[in-house]
Each structure stands twice: as C-alpha cells, then as structure tokens.
C-alpha cells in the first residue's frame, strides 16, 4: 500500500523527468540536504523518505533523526540525506508534501489527545481522510495520540439511521449485523431507539449532534450498560466538554479533514569544489594531527578498506542522532561529521563542535559489557598511533592527555543497538576560560614536540 502510494506520487510529480534539473544540474553533481521543522509540531511520515529515495535511487545515505510522534521544535533537523543532486531535487516536493500533510494530522491529533487528558475518554479518528491517503493519515493520527476507528466499511459494522430503516428496525439491524463476526456499533437518535438497542444487547452506542449537556443526560441514562461514543461538530474548542460528559469515546473528523500542512523545509547544499556556498574547512597548521580531521581523510579509500558503512556529512546537528536513525540493522556503520551544531554529551549537555577543530563520529554497535571503557582504550590507542600523544582514561568516559580531557565517549542504547559517540579535540589552540583548566586538544598536547 505505502509502496504504491509513493510510486503514484512520484509519477504524478516527476512524470517523464525533472526537465529543469536535467537542463541545469550536472549528472555527476552530489549534494546533501536537511529536512527542517520551521515551527513546533508532532512529526509523522518520516518512514516514507526511505521508500521515496529507494524508488528513485541515487541516494548514498539517509539518516532519519526523529520518530513519528516526536514533538519537534522550530529548527529541529528531522532527517538528512546525501546523494545525486538531481535525485534530491526531483524528490523534494513529494517528500515535503507527505511530511507536511502527515505531520499536520499528527499535530492535530495531539491537540485532541492533550485536550482530554485526565478524563476516561478516548479520541477516535474517522473516515474523513484524503482519498488514497487513509492508511497514512490514520497512522499519523495514531502517532499523534488518538485511537484509530475503523479503517473502512469492511472491518467494523456501524449501523446508522438508513441501515435501521432498511433492516426493519433496531433489533433486526443488530441481529443481522452480528452475523458478520465484526465489532458492531449502532447510532440511536431517540429514547425509544436507545431502549430497543439496549434490550437487544447493543455494546457500543453512537450519539450524534448533541450538546455537551444533552450528552451528559444520555450518558447518565445509559448508566454503563453500553460503551458510548459522541460525534458531530466536535472540535478542539469543545472536545473537553464532551469528554467530561462521561462518554467513553469522542470521534472527530476535524483531526484529518481540517489538519493544516506544517511548515517543513528542505535545505540543499551542493558538494562541488567551485561552488562558493560549499566550503570545506582548511587545516590550521601542517601538523600530523591535521591529517586525521574528517575533511582531510580520503573517505573513498577508507570505504574500500573499512568493512562497515561510512556516512559523512560536512555539517550535522548530532552524529549520535544520525546514527540512531540508521537503526539496529546498520550495526558497524559509522557517522562522521566535520561540524556538529548540537552534539550530545553526558547529562543532556549539548555542544557546538566547530568545523576543522575535531573529530565527531558515532558508531552503531551491538551492546556489550564495558563498552565505554573499551572505546576509550581504542581512542587512546588510535591517538597515540596517529600523533604520538599518550593518553590515559578517566572513568567513566573521558580520554585524558595529561590532566586535561582531549576526547569523550558517550554510549546510548537505542532500539537494541548501542550508539557510541566519540568526540576528539584535534586542532584547537585555546579554549574558553571556563574550560581552559579542564580541556586540551591534540594540537595543544603536542606543543612541546617539534614536528
């Protein structure tokens, strides 16, 4: 279903080809892009990115940094992608259409779910969805925190006034419907229909187009003999009042049919040496430690020698988030960035790790005992081999050059994988006053030596 939905969307937009990109963008030009939230939202639809890029091909790396249902702030990076510039450009609109629409549904759903917190009432979605997108919109609604009602006319029975009339009455409609072997719900509009439905053993009643006060009286009369669902004209302004009327459920078509598209953008950067908007940082000095900075490494050669997957970004919010987005199936993969705008540290600390100053990477690993210690020893050994700087470890996660920290290790368990973040200070010549007594870099630690 999802595969076909994506195929149709791509075919509708791209057709025989993106003529603008074909005319203006060189075939071998590479690029990387970021999907950014530009307002607070509940995000949904991120799993579609993998299918979109799978169908088009030409993508080297995709890192999904959030999960459906996550609450995102303005400025949060939702996903990053790297590959052929033509592919990223031709898929941009389809990807954004899905993300903006489905995040809008999820955000709307969260508003309804939050509005009834503290009551015993659950919010249901409806079949009032965009044609062809029902499965996706219902998944987005569930990610936002509401409960999916029936998917279509095939998976539950909902008897309304026309069905009652055609069947010959409430009792007959209920008896006929029970033969389907599916959940049965019946709408009642009068006290007489209510009496007949309860006498016939109805388990789920639908009350439509009542005021909250009228609903309260009906619920009191039903007295727990059946589950009660309220519908009709329910929106964010009144859903709390209906929930407090004592209903078991309220259903709201507004969750899907009135959800607005959220503001999400796609930022593209071309990876071309003569493109002035793409600048790789240069080394500060011609010293041995410069050769281990990410932008100085011959990644193509390393990829040929390294058994795992290497994902490299010139700039990224957090290599740990990107690595977590690869999933447990990517054991052995390494995410490497020249710059981190929101690197992760212990106790939730965040860091801006400047380009040209250090190594910022994360590895997807199988969980193991003493993993942080083992990684610290490996980092210390690699530093010694590369630069001659001898390091020790300080429990639990610091690599020390002398009495100062030169590298840090952070391991987090995510969905069965150990995400190991490693940050090494390489090229700094000074630190802020508040860190000067605690931190050093390979450049500073090797000053006494003359290379």
- Enumerate the active-site residues: 93, 128, 160, 187, 208
351 neighbors 340 (Cβ within 8 angstroms): yes
Q: H-helix or E-strand containing 90?
A: helix 85-115
Residue carrying the six token digits 């052929």: 84
CA–CA distance, 417 with 422 (Å, rounded to integer): 16
Check residue 415 and give left, alpha or beta (phi > 0: left; psi -120 to 50: alpha).
left
Residues 6 or more apart whose Cβ sits within 8 Å of residue 333: 308, 309, 310, 311, 323, 326, 363, 364
Is residue 389 classed as helix, strand or coil in its secondary structure?
coil
Instruction: Please name every residue paired with 35 in a beta bridge, in sequence order, or none if there are none.
Output: 79, 266
CA–CA distance, 70 with 294 (Å, rounded to integer): 31
HEC per residue, 349-370: CEEEECCCCEEEEEEEECCCCC
CA–CA distance, 141 with 106 (Å, rounded to integer): 5
DSSP letters for 6-30: HHHHHHHHHTT--HHHHHHS-TT-E
CA–CA distance, 82 with 30 (Å, rounded to integer): 7
Closest CA to 256 of 345, 153, 131, 358: 131
344 neighbors 337 (Cβ within 8 angstroms): no
Residues 6 or more apart whose Cβ sits within 8 Å of residue 419: 320, 323, 324, 362, 363, 364, 365, 411, 412, 413
Which ranges constitute the DSSP H helices of 159-253? 161-167, 170-178, 191-199, 212-222, 239-243
DSSP single-letter state for residue 155: S
Q: Dig out the tokens for 190 from the structure.
A: 């009068």
CA–CA distance, 165 with 146 (Å, rounded to integer): 32
Beta strand 122-124 with 249-251 is: parallel
Q: What is each CA distance from 120 to 112, 117, 204, 426, in whole angstroms?
A: 14, 8, 16, 56
């Amino acid at each position: 279903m999802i595969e076909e939905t994506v195929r149709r969307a791509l075919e509708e937009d791209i057709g025989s080809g993106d003529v603008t990109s074909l005319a203006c963008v060189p075939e071998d030009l590479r690029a990387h892009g970021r999907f950014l939230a530009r307002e607070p939202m509940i995000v949904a639809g991120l799993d579609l990115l993998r299918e979109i890029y799978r169908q088009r091909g030409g993508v080297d790396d995709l890192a999904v940094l959030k999960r459906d249902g996550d609450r995102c702030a303005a400025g949060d990076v939702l996903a990053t992608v790297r590959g052929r510039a033509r592919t990223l450009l031709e898929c941009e609109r389809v990807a954004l259409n899905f993300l903006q629409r489905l995040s809008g549904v999820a955000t709307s759903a969260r508003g309804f779910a939050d509005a009834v917190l503290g009551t015993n009432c659950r919010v249901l979605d409806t079949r009032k969805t965009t044609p062809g997108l029902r499965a996706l919109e219902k998944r987005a609604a569930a990610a936002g925190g509401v409960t999916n009602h029936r998917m279509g006319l095939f998976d539950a029975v909902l008897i309304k006034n026309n069905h009652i009339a055609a069947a010959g009455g409430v009792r007959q409609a209920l008896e006929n419907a029970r033969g389907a072997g599916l959940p049965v719900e019946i709408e009642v509009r009068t006290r007489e229909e209510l009496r007949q439905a309860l006498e016939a053993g109805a388990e789920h009643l639908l009350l439509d187009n009542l005021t909250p006060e009228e609903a309260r009286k009906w619920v009191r009369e039903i007295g727990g003999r059946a589950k009660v669902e309220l519908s009709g004209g329910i929106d964010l302004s009144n859903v709390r009042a209906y929930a407090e009327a004592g209903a078991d459920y309220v259903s709201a078509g507004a969750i899907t049919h009135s959800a607005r598209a959220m503001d999400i953008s796609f930022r593209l950067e071309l990876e071309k040496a003569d493109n002035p908007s793409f600048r790789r940082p240069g080394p500060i000095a011609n010293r041995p430690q410069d050769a281990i900075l990410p932008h100085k490494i011959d990644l193509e050669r390393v990829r040929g020698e390294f058994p795992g997957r290497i994902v490299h970004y010139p700039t990224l919010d957090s290599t740990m988030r990107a690595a977590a987005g690869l999933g447990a199936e990517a054991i052995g993969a390494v995410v490497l960035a020249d710059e981190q705008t929101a690197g992760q540290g212990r106790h939730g600390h965040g860091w801006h790790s400047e380009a040209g100053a250090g190594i910022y990477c994360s590895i997807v690993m199988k969980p193991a005992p003493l993993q942080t210690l083992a990684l610290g020893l490996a980092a210390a050994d690699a530093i010694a081999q590369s630069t001659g700087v001898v390091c020790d470890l300080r429990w639990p996660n610091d690599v020390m050059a002398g009495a100062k920290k030169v590298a840090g290790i952070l391991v987090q368990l995510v969905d069965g994988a150990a995400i190991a973040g490693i940050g090494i200070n390489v090229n700094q010549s000074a630190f802020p006053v508040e860190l000067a007594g605690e931190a050093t870099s390979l450049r500073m630690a090797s000053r006494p030596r003359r290379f």
